[in-house]
Structure 1
Amino acid sequence: MGILIGLLIIIGGGLWWFQQRNQSATPITTHHVTPTKSVRVVAVGDSLTQGIGYADDHQGYLPMLKQQLETDYRVKVRTQNFGIGGERSDQIDKRVTHKARLRLALKRADVIAVTVGGNDLLQKLEKNILVDSSSQLAAKLAPAKVTYQQKLTQLIQDIHQVNPKAQVYLFGIYNPVYVYFSTASMITDAVDQWNQVNQKVASQVSGTHFVTINQQLSYGQYQSETAKAKLKQETKKTNQQYVDPAEVEKLLQDQTSDEKNDYLSTHDHFHPNKRGYTIMAKQLKQAIGQHVNWSTRN
């Protein structure tokens, strides 16, 4: 706009007046910041990386993360998405150790983001869904937790082996059916246990950081204690601690009803929608901000 005004004044013969006025005027500062650093963000993992649930482009949280990082930091962000829906920790690790294109991308990355664990847990829950108490479920899941921790540790170590310098950010998981079965403590407890594994591995492997999304995506808009109590009051008549797997399957297959959780997709009642993926991007951006030395905008 300043250039356009200057040209108009020149054309009108007022150049001298314009120069004299500018000598005494306070200089106008601009908020434009030229990027000083190029940053590569590589995402690898399951459907939460692939972006299932939001539109058909399967980009998930990466476009929002790119925008947020470029807005808050003097960086030019390049992203690559290596998410495949349905993969467990061992399947993701197999790609990390064998897929040349993925390994090259990881080697060049400054930031590596990982979503993993949901499919490992889902597989175990499907096999043990008929237990009728949290203690029984905990007993069934105990050996599975040990195995998962071993596989997850191997995955994160293999990523660091490809690129020892990159910062690795490990997402947690969430309970996609909480708002429908809020009194089903067995599912909530299982998700909490898996998040504890992810958080523990992140704390034990150098250069790895845990990114939580459980509270935001599980509870959706029901974040306050009052809202959660009201939700439980609404649902306690229809479900208790035990959940009929047929009811869960019916919910996930229903593409005609609106989603009760404002952050999940109406299409499958499981994956994040745009608002949900924006939350993931925000949580990751905040975690990155705690561990990088990029210059911030003022």
Structure 2
Amino acid sequence: MHRFLKWFSALLILIVIIGGGWFWLQHQSGSKSTQQKRPIVLKTVRVVGVGDSLTQGIGYDHDHSGYLPILKQQLSQTYYVKPQTANYGIGGERSDQIDHRVQTNQKLRRSLRRADVIALTAGGNDLLQSLEKNIMVNSDAQMTQKMAPLKTEYQQKLTQLVADVHEVNPRAQVYLFGIYNPVYVYFTNATMISSSVDQWNQVNQKVAESQSRTHFVNVNSTLSHGQYQSASAQAKLKTENRQSDQAFVDPEKVEQLLKTQDSKEKNAYLSTEDHFHPNKKGYNVMATKLSQAIQNNVNWRKR
């Protein structure tokens, strides 16, 4: 009888263990199934664009869409996020004018405070006005001398702009675009323009590197050279343009080009309307470059 009770107790314990294990497995399976069926909650990320015409979107089929809608689509495809974008671009503004809005425009400041990502375009109009002041310069040495104080002044203004953006929102990542040479493919040998663009880009990069949570987005080579990206293609351009341009271009020739509205544009990334601003393909370059820079600084869940 005693042996029977021991045997029965052991059997009962075994049944309890097996039953408990089965119940546990079923519970785990059910939990996993529930987890798999549970929808992923999309993280809302707010992207605010501030700046000049490159933020506004001028040149893109007159709809002023620019790069922000393209960036929004790219982020949605890459991450489990719900991007919200706001565009505060105004064509023709210099860096100090953009900064004035950052300091005084309450709607813009409210938008900046809520932003996760802030993208800036600045410098193109500063450079354009600086070149206009020196249209009669006809040597590299003289141009360097004339542009040096203007470059220093621009760096001070841009530094203040980025600092004021960070003051409004210290936690956001700020991405500062570089500028490009819109007439490179027509005046390939015009070192005066290309050199000035390079110097302004150096300022943008230096300012970005000098401030925390700020990143430089370089679009110069792609948008300036367009489809002529290889060394051989650029060499061919220089040969083709040798008769029509020199190191120091007559500003009237540049002005005439920019005023010409036709269906032809030698640079596949720029608008046929003004030969200056990006077309849809060009703004796609800006969005892609910015998206790649964002990927290096966020930990959003990827799809």
**What is the rounded CA distance, in whole Å, between the counterparts of 1:34 and 1:156 in structure 2?**
35
RMSD: 1.1
Query: Cα offset for 1:256?
Result: 2.2
What is the aligned counterpart of 1:229 among 232, 235, 239?
235
What is the aligned counterpart of 2:292 among 252, 274, 286?
286
1:208-219, aligned counterparts within 5 Å?
A: 208-219=214-225
**What is the rounded CA distance, in whole Å, between the counterparts of 2:207 and 2:42 in structure 1?**
33
Residue 147 (structure 1) aligns with: 153
Residue 126 (structure 1) aligns with: 132
Residue 254 (structure 2) pairs with residue 248 (structure 1): yes
**What is the rounded CA distance, in whole Å, between the counterparts of 1:254 and 1:210 in structure 2?**
32
Percentage identity across paired residues of the two chains: 65
Change (3 A) 1:58 1:257: closer
What is the aligned counterpart of 2:208 among 198, 202, 206?
202
Amino acid of the residue matched to residue 146 of structure 1?
Answer: T
1:171-186, aligned counterparts within 5 Å?
A: 171-186=177-192
Q: Deviations over 1:196-220 (max 9, x none)?
A: 0000000001110000000000000
- For the Cα contact (< 8 Å) 1:145–1:194, is it kept in 2? yes
Bigger Rg, structure 1 or 2: 2
Name the count of aligned residue pairs.
266
1:1-298, aligned counterparts within 5 Å?
A: 34=40, 36-297=42-303
- Mark the runs of 5 or more structure 1 residues left unpaired by the alignment: 1-29
**What is the rounded CA distance, in whole Å, between the counterparts of 1:192 and 1:104 in structure 2?**
34
**What is the rounded CA distance, in whole Å, between the counterparts of 2:143 and 2:65 in structure 1?**
35
Amino acid of the residue matched to residue 226 of structure 1?
Answer: S
Query: Cα offset for 1:296?
Result: 1.3
TM-score, normalised relative to structure 2 = 0.86
Query: Cα offset for 1:237?
Result: 1.1
Amino acid of the residue matched to residue 236 of structure 2?
Answer: K
- Mark the runs of 5 or more structure 2 residues left unpaired by the alignment: 1-35
Query: Cα offset for 1:295?
Result: 1.2
Amino acid of the residue matched to residue 204 of structure 2?
Answer: N
SS of 2:133's equivalent in the other structure is: helix
**What is the rounded CA distance, in whole Å, between the counterparts of 2:168 and 2:284 in structure 1?**
29
**What is the rounded CA distance, in whole Å, between the counterparts of 1:176 and 1:103 in structure 2?**
31
**What is the rounded CA distance, in whole Å, between the counterparts of 1:135 and 1:72 in structure 2?**
48
**What is the rounded CA distance, in whole Å, between the counterparts of 1:36 and 1:52 in structure 2?**
31
Instruction: Flag as ranges the 4+ runs of structure 1 deviating above 4 A.
Output: none
Q: Deviations over 1:237-289 (max 9, x none)?
A: 11110100010000000002501000000000000000000000000000000
Change (3 A) 1:135 1:220: same
**What is the rounded CA distance, in whole Å, between the counterparts of 1:49 and 1:285 in structure 2?**
15
Residue 13 (structure 1) aligns with: none
Query: Cα offset for 1:93?
Result: 0.3
Amino acid of the residue matched to residue 264 of structure 1?
Answer: L
**What is the rounded CA distance, in whole Å, between the counterparts of 1:56 and 1:34 in structure 2?**
37
**Higher deviation after alignment, 134-143 or 214-223:** 134-143
Amino acid of the residue matched to residue 98 of structure 2?
Answer: I
Amino acid of the residue matched to residue 149 of structure 1?
Answer: Q
- For the Cα contact (< 8 Å) 1:35–1:76, is it kept in 2? no
